C-alpha cells in the first residue's frame, strides 16, 4: 500500500466577488468552525485593482479540494445567488515556509468587516 504524501496548492481567482460576498459564503459554509478534513490553510486577498478576490489554499488531497468545491462551495454560493467567473489552478506544492505560522490566524482578526 502506498501513502499519498503529495500536498496541493489551489488558487482561485474569483472575478467581481466583493469582501462582503466572500464573508457571506464563508458564513454559509461555516468552514471556520467545521473545516473540510483535507485543508491545511486558506488565505484570501484582493485581486489587483479590486477586480475580485484571490483565494489560496493548501490541501492534502486534490480529490478533497475538488469534492469541497462541488459539494460545499458552489452550492453555498448558488444558495446566496452568487455566480462569479472563477479561474481555478491546482498544482503540487513545491515548498512552504511559515516561520511565524502561529501568528497567521490572528492576522485575519484584524480585518475590518
Domain count within the chain: 1
pLDDT tier at 1, thresholds 50, 70, 90: very low
In a domain, 57, yes or no: yes
Residue 54 pLDDT exceeds 90: yes
Q: Report the CATH number at residue 72.
A: 3.30.70.100
pLDDT single digits (tens) 62-96: 999 999 999 999 999 999 999 999 999 999 999 99
In a domain, 86, yes or no: yes
In a domain, 106, yes or no: no
Q: Minimum mean pLDDT among 17-26, 62-71, 93-102: which range?
A: 93-102
Using CA atoms, how far residue 23 sits from 51, 62, 111, 113, in Å, is 16, 24, 12, 8
pLDDT at 107: 81
CA atoms within 13 A on the CB side of 106: 4
In a domain, 21, yes or no: yes
**Residue 61 is part of which domain span?**
8-94
In a domain, 17, yes or no: yes
Bigger pLDDT: 39 or 3?
39
Give the span between the Cα atoms of 64 and 57, in whole angstroms. Answer: 12
Amino acid at each position: 500500500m502506498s501513502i499519498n504524501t503529495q500536498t496541493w496548492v489551489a488558487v482561485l481567482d474569483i472575478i467581481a466577488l466583493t469582501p462582503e460576498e466572500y464573508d457571506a459564503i464563508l458564513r454559509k459554509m461555516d468552514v471556520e468552525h467545521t473545516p473540510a478534513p483535507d485543508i491545511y490553510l486558506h488565505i484570501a486577498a484582493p485581486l489587483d485593482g479590486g477586480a475580485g478576490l484571490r483565494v489560496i489554499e493548501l490541501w492534502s488531497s486534490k480529490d478533497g479540494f475538488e469534492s469541497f468545491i462541488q459539494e460545499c462551495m458552489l452550492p453555498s454560493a448558488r444558495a446566496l445567488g452568487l455566480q462569479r467567473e472563477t479561474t481555478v489552478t491546482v498544482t503540487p506544492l513545491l515548498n512552504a515556509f511559515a516561520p511565524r505560522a502561529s501568528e497567521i490566524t490572528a492576522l485575519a482578526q484584524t480585518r475590518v468587516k
